[in-house]
Amino acid sequence: MTALQSNPLASPMPGVETTDLSAALAPMRAGARLRFLYDQFGPRVVATTSFGLQAAAMLHLIAEHAPQIPVVFIDTGFLFPETYRHAEALTSRLELDLRIYQPNISAARLQALWGELWNDGKAGADRYALLTKIEPMNRALRELGADVWLSGLRRTQSKTRADRSFAEQQKSTLKVYPILDWADARLEHYLREHKLPPHPLAAHGYLTMGDWHSTRPASADDDAGATRFRGTKYECGLHLDSGTPDFQI
């Protein structure tokens, strides 16, 4: 029995040794990781989803192994219509405890006041992320009383994720990645095994999924990173390093 298992944590997240938690999670299967995390942290845990191309796998694992965990969906107001329909179908099938959070500013007002921020260089993209993703996520963490955030990030998705640990401390929030070590083939096998529907745009050449204005299908020589934000960045704005200003609470 590990120290984590014998001493359920009631202290603030800065008191958690992320190296110990990562070591405890590493030998477990993904479903066991989810059960372990809920047993340790209970209502302090939330998960997030973008209902992206392969999000169904993580959502199915939650539904099977820790259905008590609420799932936060950040609706930027700029998602593809297919993403909204995919979200409705998966939420119904898996009976998710879905919590939808939206920016405090509407898509129309954002564009009227600041134009197409996503086309305005790094400063514009960062402001766009703060308004449409970071602020709603901060609000979700506060309102749900959560300081443990589960995400379906995987190391093989991009170079920015290749060196992540299973657990990271980011300000007052502990972030944990239950399927971090899953290769693409393993994830695809899981989707087939459980007959989980793909995102509708997967069949149209998309390698990753985000807002309609900054995500495009891949051409012959593209990798996933080249299809987001004209190749200038891959991360959507939530999963950045812990030193990023205004990242989260």
Q: Tell me: pLDDT of 185 over 80.
A: yes
Residue 6 predicted with pLDDT over 50: no
Average pLDDT over residues 188-203: 93
What percentage of the chain has pLDDT greater than the value 70? 79
What pLDDT is stored for residue 96 in this prediction?
A: 97
As a whole number, mean pLDDT of residues 139-168 equals: 87
Q: Which residues of 33-59 are buried (b: 16+ CB within 10 A; e: fewer)?
A: bbebbbebbeebbbbbbbbbbbbbbbb
Asked if the structure places residue 126 within a domain, the reply is yes
DSSP alpha helix (H) spans, the chain: 3-6, 18-25, 30-41, 55-65, 81-94, 107-114, 121-129, 135-144, 184-193
CATH number at residue 22: 3.40.50.620
pLDDT at residue 227 greater than cutoff 60: no
Q: Give me the residue label for tokens 């300000």.
A: 171
Asked, for residue 237, whether it belongs to a domain, the answer is: no
**Which residues form the catalytic set?**
236
- Is residue 139 one of the residues assigned to a domain? yes
pLDDT, tens digit (0-9, with 9 covering 90-100), for 47-88: 999 999 889 999 999 999 999 999 999 999 999 999 999 999
What is the torsion angle, in degrees rounded to the nearest 10, for the CA atoms of residue 162, residue 51, residue 141 and residue 36? -60
Least confident residue range of 67-76, 134-143, 211-220: 211-220
List of long-range contacts for 83-86, beta carbons under 8 Å, 24+ apart? 83/50, 83/51, 83/52, 83/199, 83/201, 83/209, 85/200, 86/51, 86/197, 86/199, 86/200
Pairing mode of beta strands 173-176, 98-101: unpaired
Structural domain includes residue 220: no
The answer to the question of residue 156 being in a domain is: yes
Residues 80 and 126: their CA atoms lie apart, in Å, by 21
The pLDDT of residue 220 is above 70: no
Token pair listed for 147: 């300081």
Tens of pLDDT, residues 81-137: 999 999 999 999 999 999 999 999 999 999 999 999 988 888 898 899 999 999 999
pTM (2 d.p.): 0.84
Q: Does a structural domain hold residue 128?
A: yes
Between 235 and 205, whose confidence is greater?
A: 205
Tally of domains in the chain: 1
Which structural domain, as residue segments, surrounds residue 188? 16-199
The token pair at 221 is: 């020589």
Band the pLDDT of 8: cuts 50, 70, 90.
very low
Strands 167-170 and 173-176: antiparallel
Q: Is 181 helix (H, G, I), strand (E, B) or coil?
A: coil
Give me the long-range contacts of 108-113 (CB less than 8 A, separation at least 24). Answer: 110/77
Asked if residue 96 belongs to a domain, the reply is: yes
Residue 195 maps to a domain: yes
